[in-house]
């Protein structure tokens, strides 16, 4: 579609001549409960100034139809709308433009998403726009630096409630409907506006605090979810974390929360974890737990709550000028999510362990792809922007900010943040604006730091080199650094030996600045050689860590004996990176997991080990050993399940891992027994979510009948149940099941996003690679068509999910290379996705070679 992919240059040109004074947006969604109604009425009136009278410009709009366009009282021809843009010319110095359109209800989570609850038939709406889908709901200048106040008016069914960014000022009843009028927002970007509408279950509270000037800040709080989820909605816990976060960010940021109220809506079929719409934050409703989950899930939810809250300042109050500086909000929010869990005195004291083990694993993977990029990226257009919500922008950026706080000091960091907010409130910024504030407060020149860490890509690996004398004392300890670009690293080096109880404990700590390819640590000379030398102890820098051979042997025999949670998590992370980098055979990594995972006390780390061990067998192991590896994992899961403390999080994690790995008669027999009640594990509650996990194991093994799965759906006729049922159908090991899943996604765009995802996940099970091999050729043939015809969200799922990674063989790699060679002019974002998956495949082949020995 012409103009659908806005470029940075177009945005710059538009911002150079326009200033937006305000929007009035009227939406009529009274048709939403009617499944036959595909559209809603949208009327936008925007007042803006033009510094070059007589110039032309355009508004962004993705609508089914445009009814009228009026500029300064003059009706424009219907040809003004080309399907993606409303073109206007002859601008005056001051302008009022009104666009009346019919816009489509979404089923992809982009724009105004409509969902019908299968439990009670109720209809729910919510919006999601980032980076540029507000134009699916109302005509606007869709770029972050044309901020404006927005006044929303929404007409909805009479029994609905409606929320937006600002407080409503009136609710006018009409026949069969009510019209909600909202106060104008502060100056915000288009992608941050929001509407949530429907018969949501609502819990209200309030927050207040005395400000330094003696006034009292009062913030109305609310949390909402679908009515059918109300019995599971732990709003008190959610709002409790919210209040702790508001206390913490007010203390640290020194700028009062600027958006009035604070609503948090947990919404269905949401594409991401959450979105920081000011005053009206939206979350995926998976955070409303229908069944027992581990404490790691609660920690993750609390982290996301604080992440989105941090955005109220970093991102909403002060917004990046263009998506090049996306890190100015996402890196900060990702860092603050973990920092805040500790600083706000929540009960989640292991936040930095989770960060080191999980968030940084995402960053390390992303940073080793051929498409890696600096934290401050070159974002040419909206498709680039969509793909850069990635492990670099979030997790690597957060890791680098953690380093920065240590470098300049937390006091200087937060004082710099306060000045940044004061200077740029309700405006837009670039990298230099933040660095300037931090340089003032820290007294440091941060330009070289930014050049090394923000403006280059790639991850360094640090390796200890230890030489000893005949008596076992260190004569030299050096740190070797490799990578395309060598960076300065301030690290701690932990020296670990066994204590009288057999635990590996730190007996010495050295701190050193690593510079260049080889850095000698003179303080180590003369010390007794420890059992384990752990570089980057305490996780002070962003790097991969390696081991000398003696340290690696200590881990082989005692990784689980490391007493400190963070040090142990760093060791687990390091051996996983060795496996991914084809430096440790996959079967050796699996052996470590089988030997020591049962000792792992941190539940989040344990669940990561489960995921990584399964990946090691599915992708990185010699195909000749895969069957043996899978059996070993299932046996280990069963052994640890039986040994786990009854009713514990660890027991639940091992039960889920058994469901993921079950393949033999003994494992599948227990799975079926747990479902029917003929088998029992003391303390294990086989609740609804666990039941679906067990059914998936049987379905994938060809041991779940159609009637059995239909009966389970009848017992759980919910959105979650329908998603799990679809997943089970697609996971059956038959040509017919794979064909049906493929067709459901490829041959129609009627499926909602959640069921697209379920079909792809069930289709692509690695254990079914023989059944799905024949789809590789049609996959590559369809790539450009799918990319051009579907929304970017659905197209991304197709490209990433159906890529034949599970084949993990040389012919598939050759097919990927052939497609890339033959399509140099394909959309850059599409090529990037294919290239990344191709790299995953090449990595798997290297790991398999390593595992073969």
Q: Sheet containing 123-128: which strands, arranged edge to edge?
A: 111-116, 123-128, 195-198, 161-164
Q: Which two tokens stand for residue 265?
A: 């809506």
Max Cα-Cα span within the chain: 93
Which of 235, 236, 233, 261 lies closest to 246, judged by CA?
261
CA distance 774 to 796: 21
CA distance 761 to 801: 7
- Residues 6 or more apart whose CB falls under 8 angstroms from that of 10 comprise none
Which of 56, 141, 59, 68 lies closest to 92, judged by CA?
56
Helices 586-596/549-558 angle, 10° precision: 40
CA 534 to chain centre: 30
| Contact status, residue 718 vs residue 228, Cβ threshold 8 Å | yes
Q: Which residues pair with 28 in a beta bridge?
A: 41, 155
Q: Prior bond to 289 cis, omega within 30?
A: no
Which of 353, 783, 812 lies closest to 567, judged by CA?
353
- The beta strands (E) that lie in 597-642 are given as none
| 122 counts as catalytic | no
| Contact status, residue 164 vs residue 280, Cβ threshold 8 Å | yes
CA distance 562 to 560: 6
3-class state of residue 480 by DSSP = strand
In the set 100, 269, 276, 308, the catalytic residue is 308
Cα 392 to Cα 334, 455, 462, 608, 840, distances in angstroms: 11, 12, 20, 20, 17
CA distance 637 to 394: 33
- The beta strands (E) that lie in 64-176 are given as 65-71, 74-75, 85-88, 94-104, 111-116, 123-128, 150-157, 161-164, 168-174
> How many C-beta atoms surround the C-beta of residue 499 within 10 A?
12
| Contact status, residue 341 vs residue 302, Cβ threshold 8 Å | yes
Which of 337, 310, 388 lies closest to 792, judged by CA?
388
3-class state of residue 328 by DSSP = helix
3-class state of residue 594 by DSSP = helix
CA distance 642 to 501: 26
Residues 683-715: b if buried by 16+ CB within 10 A, e if exposed: ebebebbbbbbbbbbbbbbebbeeebbeebbee
Q: Which residue has the tokens 């979350």?
A: 283
Q: Which residue has the tokens 């659905």?
A: 794
Tell me 759's DSSP state: H
CA distance 834 to 354: 30
Q: Which residues pair with 308 in a beta bridge?
A: none
Q: Sheet containing 544-545: which strands, arranged edge to edge?
A: 518-520, 474-482, 461-468, 544-545
| Contact status, residue 763 vs residue 729, Cβ threshold 8 Å | no
CA distance 466 to 529: 8
Q: Which two tokens stand for residue 243?
A: 């209040």
Active-site residue set: 308
């Amino acid at each position: 579609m012409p103009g659908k992919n806005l470029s940075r240059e177009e945005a710059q040109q538009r911002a150079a001549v326009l200033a937006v004074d305000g929007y009035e947006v009227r939406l009529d969604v009274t048709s939403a409960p009617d499944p036959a109604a595909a559209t809603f009425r949208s009327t936008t009136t925007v007042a803006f100034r033009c510094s070059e009278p007589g110039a032309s410009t355009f508004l962004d709009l993705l609508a089914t139809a445009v009814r009228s366009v009026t500029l300064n009282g003059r009706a424009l021809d219907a040809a003004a709308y080309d399907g993606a843009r409303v073109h206007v010319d002859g601008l005056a110095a001051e302008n009022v433009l009104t666009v009346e359109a019919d816009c489509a209800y979404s089923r992809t989570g982009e724009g105004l998403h409509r969902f019908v609850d299968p439990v009670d038939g109720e209809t729910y709406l919510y919006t999601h726009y980032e980076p540029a889908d507000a134009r699916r709901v109302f005509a606007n200048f869709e770029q972050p630096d044309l901020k404006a106040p927005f006044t929303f008016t929404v007409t909805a069914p009479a029994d609905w409630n409606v929320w937006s960014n600002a407080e409503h000022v009136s609710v006018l009843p009409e026949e069969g409907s009510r019209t909600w009028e909202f106060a104008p927002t502060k100056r915000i970007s288009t992608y941050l506006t929001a509407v949530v509408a429907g018969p949501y279950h609502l819990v209200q509270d309030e927050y207040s605090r005395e400000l330094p000037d003696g006034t009292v800040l009062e913030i109305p709080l609310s949390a909402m979810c679908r009515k059918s989820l109300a019995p599971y909605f732990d709003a008190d816990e959610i709002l409790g974390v919210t209040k702790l976060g508001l206390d913490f960010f007010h203390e640290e940021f020194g700028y009062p929360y600027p958006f009035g109220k604070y609503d948090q809506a947990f919404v269905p079929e949401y594409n991401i974890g959450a979105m920081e719409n000011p005053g009206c934050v939206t979350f995926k409703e998976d955070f409303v737990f229908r069944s027992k989950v581990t404490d790691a899930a609660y920690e993750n939810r609390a982290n996301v709550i604080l992440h989105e809250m941090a955005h109220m300042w970093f991102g909403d109050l002060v917004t990046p000028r263009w998506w090049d500086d996306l890190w100015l909000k996402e890196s900060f929010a990702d860092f603050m999510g973990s920092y805040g869990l500790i600083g706000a005195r929540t009960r989640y004291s292991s936040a930095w362990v989770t960060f080191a083990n999980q968030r940084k694993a995402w960053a390390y993977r992303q940073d080793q792809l051929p498409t890696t990029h600096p934290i401050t990226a070159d974002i040419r257009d909206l498709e680039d922007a969509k793909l850069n919500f990635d492990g670099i922008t979030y997790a690597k950026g957060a890791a680098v900010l953690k380093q920065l706080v240590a470098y300049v000091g937390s006091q200087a960091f937060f004082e710099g943040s306060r000045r940044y907010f004061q200077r740029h409130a309700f405006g837009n910024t670039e990298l230099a604006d933040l660095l300037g504030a931090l340089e003032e407060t820290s007294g440091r020149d941060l330009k070289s730091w930014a050049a090394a860490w923000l403006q280059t890509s790639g991850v360094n690996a640090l390796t200890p080199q230890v030489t000893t004398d005949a008596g076992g004392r260190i004569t030299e300890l050096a740190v070797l650094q490799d990578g395309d670009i060598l960076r300065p690293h301030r690290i701690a080096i932990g020296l670990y030996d066994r204590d009288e109880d057999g635990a590996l404990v730190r007996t010495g700590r050295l701190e050193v600045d690593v510079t260049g390819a080889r850095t000698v640590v003179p303080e180590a000379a003369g010390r007794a050689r420890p059992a384990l030398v752990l570089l980057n102890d305490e996780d002070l820098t962003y790097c991969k860590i390696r081991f000398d051979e003696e340290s690696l042997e200590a881990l082989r025999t005692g990784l689980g004996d490391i007493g400190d949670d963070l040090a142990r998590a760093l060791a687990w992370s390091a051996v996983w990176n060795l496996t991914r980098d084809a430096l440790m055979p996959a079967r050796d990594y699996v052996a470590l997991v089988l030997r020591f995972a049962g000792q792992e006390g941190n539940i989040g780390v344990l669940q990561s080990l489960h995921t990584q061990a399964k990946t090691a067998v599915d992708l990185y192991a010699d195909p000749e050993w895969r069957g043996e590896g899978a059996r070993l994992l299932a046996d280990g899961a069963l052994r640890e399940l039986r040994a786990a403390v009854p009713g514990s999080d660890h027991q639940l994690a091992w039960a889920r891992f058994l469901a993921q790995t079950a393949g033999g008669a003994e494992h599948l027999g227990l799975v079926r027994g747990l479902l029917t009640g003929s088998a029992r594990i003391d303390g294990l509650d086989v609740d609804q979510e666990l039941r679906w996990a067990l059914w998936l194991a049987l379905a994938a093994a060809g041991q779940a009948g159609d009637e059995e799965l239909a009966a389970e759906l009848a017992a759980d006729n919910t959105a979650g149940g329908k998603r799990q049922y679809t997943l089970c159908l697609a996971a059956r090991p038959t040509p017919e099941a794979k064909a049906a899943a493929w067709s459901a996604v490829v041959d129609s765009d009627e499926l909602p996003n959640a069921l697209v995802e379920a079909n792809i996940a069930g289709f692509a099970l690695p254990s079914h690679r023989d059944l799905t091999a024949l789809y590789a050729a049609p996959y590559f043939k369809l790539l450009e068509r799918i990319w051009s015809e579907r929304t970017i969200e659905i197209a991304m799922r197709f490209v990433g999910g159906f890529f034949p990674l599970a084949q993990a063989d040389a012919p598939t790699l050759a097919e990927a290379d052939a497609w890339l060679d033959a399509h140099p002019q394909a959309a850059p974002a599409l090529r990037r996705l294919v290239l990344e998956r191709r790299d995953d495949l090449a990595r798997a082949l290297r790991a398999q070679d390593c595992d073969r020995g």
